[in-house]
Structure 1
């Protein structure tokens, strides 16, 4: 259960007013929300973080633009100008009731893009049903990614959507010393080499005449199952 909502907001010392109509509202400064807020600030994006825990507020004061408020209360969101932000991130995940209330409040405000953190598939379904545009399960996503990395020769793994994935890997032995056209990787395995990184040489986009050597790293795209099959080649 969450605490009873307290109306009103409080800006922390040194907080700055972000430009409206071009900023990101980040609600919740746990590990997920704080990483997003700090990264956006470092990239020069206009961001306003909102947190109701005084200890977290004190920890982040002066590091990111910050307001202390309880966003389960729709009046607090109105007071801090949430209606003017085109993008909002709900980083509150551990407290299901608070997560749902905050997301619902943003939906009621008509926020064009709502990103919300979920901690389970059931939580994600609830957030989607009430109107979150993008739902992220960071622990599940990270676990899936790490599982792919530790199970084979993959050095990096990014699932884009609907099974379409981009990986970084060492080239199978049968492709080493041959051009991409000679290896016929796409015809044989259904995946596409999109780039090659040789030691001491800048990354190059792959072309049919690009030759792959044993020490290269290759960037390959395709369906996850096909990529796993290709990566399992000796």
Structure 2
């Protein structure tokens, strides 16, 4: 049977109490999350309404066909037993809001929801989503930082604090961190160093940086931009 006005197709495996991640929507965003969680051995259940996507992902991730905008369908598949739910439906604002609201109503402790605009994000936050993700905006900002300098990876943590992977500026090569005084001069902190063929090490004042190293640096985004722009 199919959900929508009825029951979900394929009875989902019941998650252990207090475990499991529910992923609703198997578009590019949701399917990537579900497949990655399944590959990592997480107890995940994907929910999708479109038959063509159900057929595409059947046998690849634990999956049930259901209309998550219907509160009864969510109850039938045991959604309230999942401590975490991800709403990957972003393109259809009404469906996104209805699904998120349904999850809030049944008391899912942690709800992640995809948004496609700032206005969409604000609506999801107001109705109770705990975490709102704007994948395209976040990816665009990240790529902008990467293409503008020597950064090889860029993760903004919170309130401007950022962690980057980068090549070391020439003025730091051949010196220990104590000698180059990166923190005093630039206001950023080298967290660790990865040398070719050697395991990652956490940085100490005695850590010496070479031209072939990759360094992991943390600090405010503006300071990291200036540091990464050094020749």
2:101, 2:15 → 1: CA distance?
23
1:124, 1:56 → 2: CA distance?
25
Does 1:145 find its partner at 2:146? Answer: no
* Structure 2 counterparts to residues 164-183 of structure 1, below 5 A: 164-183=161-180
Offset at residue 233 of structure 1 (A)? 0.7
2:181, 2:117 → 1: CA distance?
41
8 Å CA contact retained: 1:11, 1:66: no
* Structure 2 counterparts to residues 187-206 of structure 1, below 5 A: 187-206=184-203
2:107, 2:215 → 1: CA distance?
43
Offset at residue 89 of structure 1 (A)? 0.3
Does 1:40 find its partner at 2:41? Answer: no
Offset at residue 6 of structure 1 (A)? 2.2
Question: Corresponding residue for 1:11?
Answer: 9
Question: Corresponding residue for 1:215?
Answer: 212
Question: Corresponding residue for 1:81?
Answer: 78
8 Å CA contact retained: 2:155, 2:163: yes
Counterpart among 41, 59, 64 of residue 61 in structure 2? 64
TM-score by length of 2: 0.96
Choose 28-37 or 196-205, whichever is displaced more.
Answer: 196-205
For structure 1, list consecutive stretches of 5 or more residues without a partner in the other structure: none
Offset at residue 125 of structure 1 (A)? 0.6
2:6, 2:43 → 1: CA distance?
22
* Structure 2 counterparts to residues 70-109 of structure 1, below 5 A: 70-109=67-106
1:67, 1:21 → 2: CA distance?
20
TM-score by length of 1: 0.95
8 Å CA contact retained: 1:72, 1:101: yes
Does 1:112 find its partner at 2:86? Answer: no
Structure 2 vs 1, CA of residues 18 and 30 (structure 1 numbering), >3 Å: closer, same or farther? Answer: same
Counterpart among 142, 151, 156 of residue 154 in structure 1? 151
